[in-house]
Structure 1
Amino acid sequence: MKQTFLVKHAVGGRMFIDSNKQELKYTFAPQGEGWLFMVDVPWSEAIEELLARKNELNVFVFQEFDDRPTLKTWYYVKDGPVEYSADQSRLTIVADSRIEYYPHLYST
């Protein structure tokens, strides 16, 4: 299985993080009623802009399989905390809700 991790600005569509374009370590798991994402990523202008728009973020995880269609999961950050630890070079994002979908079911 191939997995892609993306963090985008919900309003303008700007891509802040794309695991296809930069090698990075990330984890995510359910936490309480939401999901906790931890991303090891160096400080950059993109991270600075991401933090300035932390209430307008969407996180996506795409799972591509050899034997079945791609599953896309869209996580909404809303009011979840978004923080960066310079000491650990780690971005932490908490998403409030999610939607899972198979894109092939919505093509026309």
Structure 2
Amino acid sequence: MKETFIVKHAVGGPIFIDTKKEAVPYTVEPFGEGWKFTVSVPLNEKIRELLQFSHELNMFLFHEFEDAPTVKTWYYIKEGPVEYDAASEQLTIVADSRIEYVPDTFMKQ
């Protein structure tokens, strides 16, 4: 299985993190009623912009399989904190909800 992690501003907005294009260490774990993402990334212009849109972020995990369709999980940030620790170069994002689906099962119009 191959996993891709993406963080972007709203639907159709700019992409701040895309592990398919640039390897970035991250973890995701259950956290209270939601999920906590911890990303090791230096502070740069993209991360500064990400922090400005902290309550309008969408995150995605794509799980790609050789013998099955890709599974996409869409995580939403509502009230969850989005913080950056400059000393450890760690971005922390807490997602409040998620939807998991298989994109290939949607009807194309």
| TM-score, length basis structure 1 | 0.96
Amino acid at match of 2:78: K
The 3-state SS of whatever aligns with 1:3 is: strand
2: CA distance, partners of 1:107 / 1:27: 32
Look up the match of 2:101.
101
Alpha-carbon deviation of 1:91? 0.3
Look up the match of 2:84.
84
Give percent identity, aligned residues only.
Answer: 60
Q: CA RMSD in A?
A: 1.0
2: CA distance, partners of 1:73 / 1:11: 14
| TM-score, length basis structure 2 | 0.95
2: CA distance, partners of 1:96 / 1:88: 24
Please identify runs of 4+ aligned residues in structure 1 that moved more than 4 A: none
**Cα deviation code 1:59-103 (max 9, x no counterpart):** 000000111110000000111000001011100000000000000
Pairs aligned (count)? 108
Amino acid at match of 2:97: S
* Worse-matched range after superposition: 7-16 or 40-49: 7-16
2: CA distance, partners of 1:21 / 1:43: 18
The 3-state SS of whatever aligns with 2:20 is: coil
Where do 5+ consecutive residues of structure 2 fail to align?
A: none
1: CA distance, partners of 2:21 / 2:93: 20
1: CA distance, partners of 2:48 / 2:89: 13
8 Å Cα contact 1:69/1:104 also seen in 2: yes
The 3-state SS of whatever aligns with 1:79 is: coil
Look up the match of 2:55.
55
